[in-house]
Amino acid sequence: MKNILVLGGSGFVGAHVCEKLVRAGWNVTVATRRRNNARNVQILPSLTVLEMDVHDELALSQAMAGQDAVVNLVAVLHGNAARFERVHVALVQKIVNGCLIRGVKQLVHISALGVNAGSPDAAPSMYLRSKGRGERALALAVQAGVEVTVLRPSVVFGQEDKFLNLFARLQKIFPVMPLAGATARFQPVWVEDVASAVVNSLGAFPRSAEPLRVFEACGPEVFTLAQLVELSAKLAGVNEGRGRPVIALPDWAGNAQAAFMEMLPGEPLMSRDNMASMKVPNIATPGAPGLLALGITPAALPPIAQDYLTQGQATHGLLGLRQHAH
């Protein structure tokens, strides 16, 4: 049985990744700042929770000792340039250094659709620029012979998501939905398909293969943000299935709305940097390897989203039962 370290394993995507890794026969170690954050996965067999600061380079290197592979799922959507740099670039550099020191053979890194690693500073947002620089930081591992897989997912949906669930909840409260970035395009991908891509990529390297492989993780359908907002309400049965009117805001109003949200306490629902990111279509690149190249037929959004949105909460199902058990 092989050993694998998962960074970000206590998050939305990470919980699904951990479950599939355990089912595939891996010994999984989940690194997290607080043990309680990993309560959704800590009851899985052959999984150990390691309480640590992943940004502590010495502790991270020690956690990699004896590991055959590492999965990096750590990311942030909001913040200033320093926060994006710390999480998306500096952490990747520390992971690469640890892989080289500890002899880790495989690394799976979750990036983002729309990233241009060749010209990262040309991207319109801090988020995309930092993600691009993070991919560039993988070069040292590739040069040293570490088998590196980069997965670039579109927006991820699933029963615990903070995307469709959020829009559905808002429309249960408000009679209309003023929406910034209404025409931005996305190709949403099911969280289970992303998790399967992680697991499948760990076995996707024959000896003669290139040490770096990049896959775009996208679903089968393209939607505008407005269409996704409308669909979330209809699938959740808001206003007897009719949803709410969506009012597309012009760019200046959308940026003003985002600036206001940034001032509210907690993680903002939308930021000006998010708005900038949406200038890049979040859809698959023609001809680029995708989920099919990893043996996965991507699932369509409507039937899956309807199942969890009509439950009235995002915590039903297997992961929900685990949450209630704790």
Domain ranges of the chain: 3-156+190-218+282-298
pLDDT at 321: 46
The answer to whether the beta carbons of residues 110 and 72 sit under 8 Å apart is yes
The answer to whether the beta carbons of residues 227 and 186 sit under 8 Å apart is no
Mapping DSSP onto H, E and C, the string for the chain reads CCEEEEECCCCHHHHHHHHHHHHCCCEEEEEECCHHHHCCCCCCCCEEEEECCCCCHHHHHHHCCCCCEEEECCCCCCCCHHHHHHHHHHHHHHHHHHHHHHCCCEEEEECCCCCCCCCHHHCCCHHHHHHHHHHHCCHHHHHCCCEEEEEEECCEECCCCCCHHHHHHHHHHCCCEEECCCCCEECCEEHHHHHHHHHHHCCCCCCCCCCEEEEEECCCCCEEHHHHHHHHHHHCCCCCCCCCCEEECCHHHHHHHHHHHHHCCCCCCCCHHHHHHCCCCECCCCCCCEHHHHCCCCCCHHHHHHHHHCCCCCCCHHHHHHHHHC
Question: Full-prediction pTM beyond 0.85?
Answer: yes
How many Cβ atoms are within 10 Å of 103's Cβ, its own excluded? 13
pLDDT at 208: 57
* Average pLDDT per block of 10 residues along the chain, 326 residues long: 93 95 95 89 92 96 97 95 97 98 97 94 96 96 94 96 92 91 96 97 74 94 96 91 91 90 84 94 96 96 94 50 48
Candidates 44, 21, 37; CA nearest to 318 is 44
Gap between the Cα atoms of 215 and 175, Å rounded: 40
Q: 153 — phi, psi (to 5°)?
A: -85, 150
The answer to whether the beta carbons of residues 220 and 298 sit under 8 Å apart is yes
What CATH fold (topology level) applies to the domain 3-156+190-218+282-298?
Rossmann fold (3.40.50)
Gap between the Cα atoms of 4 and 67, Å rounded: 5
pLDDT at 207: 60
Q: Answer left, alpha or beta for residue 238, where phi above 0 means left and psi between -120 and 50 means alpha.
A: beta
Candidates 56, 52, 67, 60; CA nearest to 1 is 67
pLDDT at 315: 44
Q: 188 — phi, psi (to 5°)?
A: -60, 140
Q: 193 — phi, psi (to 5°)?
A: -70, -40
Gap between the Cα atoms of 122 and 280, Å rounded: 11
Gap between the Cα atoms of 86 and 253, Å rounded: 31
